[in-house]
Structures are given as C-alpha cells and as structure tokens.
C-alpha cells in the first residue's frame, strides 16, 4: 500500500519529520536500558549540558539547548524525580533556580557519553544506507527558521500569489 503522506509531497514535511523523530525516540526507549540509562530521551541534552558546564540556572540551560524555560523546568522535575538532578535557589538571586547533577546524574552522564560509541555510528550508517546525509542540512534549516520563522515565509508566499 502506498504511503499517503509520501504521496502528498513536501506539504507534509512536518509530518515526516515527526514520524522520523518518533522512530528515533522509540528506539531510544528500547535500548537505553541496555546502556544502563534511566534518563528520558528528551532530557538527554540537559544532562549532557550540566555534565559539561556544571550547575546552571534553568534559563541558561534553556538558552544553551534552545528550548523553552517551561520545557526545561518539566525536564528538571523529571530528572529530580529520578534522582538524577537536584535544585537549589541561587543565593545571589533568589528568583533563579540552579540545577546540578547528583552522583547518579554524573553516572548517567558518563553512560550517555559511552552510548555515543554506538549511537553515532548507527546514525551515520543509517544516513549512508539511505543516501541521506541530512545532519548539516537540518542545522541549516533550523538556522534559517531562526532568521525568518516559517509562518512569516508562508504569509509572504500568500501575498505573492494574490
């Protein structure tokens, strides 16, 4: 049976990107335990960032990972529940929450780094098999969307057509 989304063309770009993301996420859910990982796939960047930079305010994590402050707060709550991270109020600015890794969090960060030895070649091999070296192109797309949001681009096309 023909893939309906594929048959519709580029209009479904967000859908196919979501499908691909879901496949990678499902794979992470399947294999993380094999690597001794309890960190949820969506919080991996937070753990890596804290491991690389030490304790950080929530806003700094959000800026560094280009994710929203509320989203980072939800990841931090999850990481705290798992005893991977801990928080304290910044004594210099009581409005700021500082996040740090616990001993378990440090172990998880090291396990995540070790998992790269399997994940990176698997991603590269997949891109090679599919003849789709998309990694750098995806970063360029993201940068272009930061420069000019997609909604603005759609509105401009609508004006051109009328």
What pLDDT digit, counting tens, does each position of 80-124 carry?
Answer: 999 999 999 988 888 899 999 999 999 999 999 999 999 999 999
Q: By the 8 A CB rule, do 84 and 109 touch?
A: no
- Rounded Cα distance, 36 and 113, in Å: 12
Give the DSSP letter string of 124-142.
Answer: HHHHHHTT---HHHHHHHH
Predicted local confidence at residue 155, as pLDDT: 92
Question: Which pLDDT score, from 0 to 100, does residue 161 have?
Answer: 66
Low-confidence ranges of the chain (pLDDT < 70): 161-162
By residue count, the chain amounts to 162
Q: What are the backbone dihedrals phi and psi of residue 39, each rounded to the nearest 5 degrees, phi first?
A: -65, 130
The pLDDT of residue 106 is 99
Domain 4-131: give its CATH architecture: Orthogonal Bundle (1.10)
């Amino acid at each position: 049976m023909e893939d309906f989304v594929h048959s519709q063309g580029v209009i479904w770009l967000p859908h196919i990107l979501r499908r691909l993301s879901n496949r990678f996420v499902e794979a992470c859910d399947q294999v993380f335990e094999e690597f001794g990982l309890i960190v949820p796939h969506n919080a991996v960047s937070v753990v890596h960032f804290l491991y690389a930079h030490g304790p950080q305010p929530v806003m700094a994590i959000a800026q560094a990972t280009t994710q929203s402050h509320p989203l980072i707060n939800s990841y931090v709550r999850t990481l705290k529940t798992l005893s991977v991270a801990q928080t304290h109020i910044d004594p210099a600015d009581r409005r700021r929450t500082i996040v740090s890794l616990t001993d378990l969090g440090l172990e998880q960060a090291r396990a995540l780094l070790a998992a790269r030895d399997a994940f990176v070649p698997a991603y590269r091999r997949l891109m090679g098999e599919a003849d789709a070296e998309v990694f750098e192109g995806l970063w360029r797309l993201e940068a272009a969307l930061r420069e000019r949001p997609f909604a603005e681009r759609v509105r401009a096309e609508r004006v051109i057509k009328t």
